[in-house]
Amino acid sequence: MASISSDDDHKAYMFLGKDVSKIPCFRNSYLYSIVGGFVAGLGHFMFTSRTQRSMHFGVGSFCVIASSYWTFCRYNYSQTEKTMDELKKVIQEKTSS
């Protein structure tokens, strides 16, 4: 069985009984939202110097970015899966005839 990483001692990160490293779009959506939330909160703090409001803004930005990117990525993933299934059916029809 081929693994994604070259490490043999790859640890599975389990959340609610699922290995999050196997969930499509999980890694990118959270990496982008963490960075985006941090930058948005820091930028808000630099312009307003209001600590608590900047933290709220950063967490809100994290939530918006994570949900938006997750939705966009999963939509593209499902469209790609649908196209791949159609191509597999066409290839099977061509090879069986």
Alpha helices by DSSP H, listed for 1-97, are 26-48, 51-96
Find the domain containing 62 and state its range.
26-84
Given a contact cutoff of 8 angstroms between Cβ atoms, the answer to whether 35 and 42 are in contact is: no
pLDDT digits (tens, 9 = 90+) for 14-46: 767 777 777 788 888 999 999 999 999 999 999
- Residue 3, both tokens: 């693994």
Per DSSP, the three-state class of 11 is coil
Provide the mean pLDDT of the chain. Answer: 86
Assigned domain for 89 exists: no
| Total of domains in the chain | 1
Task: List residues bridging with 18 in a β-sheet.
Answer: 15
Rounded to 5 degrees, what are φ and ψ at 95? -80, -25
Query: Looking at residue 21, what DSSP letter applies?
Result: G
pLDDT digits (tens, 9 = 90+) for 55-97: 999 999 999 999 999 999 999 999 999 999 999 999 998 888 6
Taking the whole predicted model, whether its pTM rises above 0.85 is answered as no
